[in-house]
Structure 1
Amino acid sequence: MRVGIAGTGFMAQTHAAEYAEMDVDVVAVSSPSGPGGFIDEFDFDAAAYTDVETMCDEADLDFLDVCTPTHTHLELVTAAATAGIDVFLEKPIAGSLEEAEEIATVAADADITLMVGHVVRFMPNYRRARELDVGEAGVARARRLSPFPEWGSADWFADREKSGGVFVDLAIHDLDYLQWAWGDVERVFARRTRDDRAEHGIVTLRFASGAVGYVEASWAQPESRPLTAELEFAGDDGLVEFAGAEEAPFAVWDGDGMVVESPLARDGYRRELEHFVSCLESGAEPDVGAEAGIDALRLALAAERSADRGEPVALEEVRA
């Protein structure tokens, strides 16, 4: 498989590290400022481009990996679709339902395969939690807390017209996961506090089953605190808990001290990219296609609308 990467930021670096361990060749990279340093860092034998349309036209790509700011997604998917190239698209699918549905239409009309990168679905601990039987679903709780993301080029995370804010960019991970795990959500009620940069929000979910969910997301943590993720499923027959900050990796004490290694050979990013590549090879549809991306975005936008209004919002109200 031959891939072209759009972007050279944090997510592009994350994906590049995974491709280096997979049977995938990164043959082209595009960035408006020039990707030379990125290509050198990963020692890729790749062509450098400053625009994705030219890369799609000139490079011999099996698929395009879009790791660029949310507001650029429609333009880049359109460029790939015009060239007949399949697309792996980082979440969220877009910043608005109008653009998200246009992306779905463009991909369908061009008959390309498109997958949206909702990576939490592929993280082993989250997948295992979904598989465990806690009986009749009662309460689900998920938290994802971090400092403000300073790594965005031109500080695009601080521009909510581009990033969508903490619900659309960060909480969407857990909103998507909880709906995937426990079924359709009927309505949400959200609260948030924010200033020019920091933002902290909570979302209460009412599932169609009658179960209740709680999602907390933060871009307001101190710089000293790493990304923290927590999950809890409670039912009438069991309780599942996961706390990322307390996860104990494999450790060995020897004469020189403690040696710590990850117990997982493949993390969620590797698993989702391998899934996408296997779908391209087999012709199967990805587990997270455009419609799943739209459903997740609708949840995040419902939370945004609820926080603005100060009242619950039904999912059926949120339309393009």
Structure 2
Amino acid sequence: MSRVQARMLPDGRRLHLNDGPIDLVIGADGDPTQIARAYRAAEARFETVLDELCAELPLLRAPAGPEPQGEVARRMWRATLPLAAETFITPMAAVAGSVAEDILAAMLAEAHLARAFVNNGGDIALHLAPGARYDIGLAAGPDGPALFATARVEATDPVRGIATSGWRGRSFSLGIADAVTVLAARASMADAAATLIANAVDLPGHPAIHRVPAEEIQPGNDLGARPVTRAVGPLAPNEIAAALEAGVAFAERLAATGRIAAAALHLAGETRMVGQGLERQHAGREGEEVPRLGGGDPS
């Protein structure tokens, strides 16, 4: 019996796929017959993804190792290898974005769609046919009602991947960012970059920041004994600014080399932006229906 759970969401338009730790929400627009073909292709490909990743897990948890065999694993490896020369990173830093990217590729190999997205917990791969666009809302946390920035991604833009990282998210972070959202050419690249920028938003040694070795929380993870952030206490305005500027400096280096298109960094109600295509939001309305990263989908 398959572990994979597949169902259409109540709106009748989006497909939900789950297999253990991987949870996808998929949307597509176009001819209904083509959408049905795309969803069947997504489900068929998704059946094999987790087993493929588990087969190469030791390699994927090691920094700058040899190229793996699986397609998703190779996407992870290719996204992180260029960054390994300047900082610690393993292919696992790009796993969510790479899964989203791979499922979208399977859909597009079988169907012609006006636009489509695969959202893997806020790490999103996009497809846009000529003339199509997505409007994206960036939330400060998975449960936050307010948006701190928005983005419009047009078919002519060089952005097909969006990812969010931070210490409040589902993955471990070495930094203190509430949320760092990155726009890049591919979801795998955005995922890796968001991880590293969020790590760079930091105040090393600050007494208000509680950290625990990653292996004490999740034995065998790729971070080992590196301390990951578990709580962030009150910070002075100058401290918030210093932490954000450290992240901005790293993001600007990635933007200058073309590895990302834009990034939004959010900490304690303050936001910094790098690159083009993002618009700051000063407030959100409670209960407003908005697209958001990390807790929803593009519109």
TM-score of the two chains, using structure 1 as the length reference: 0.29
Structure showing greater relative contact order (alpha-carbon pairs closer than 8 Å, 6 or more residues apart): 1
Say which structure is richer in helix: 1
TM-score of the two chains, using structure 2 as the length reference: 0.31
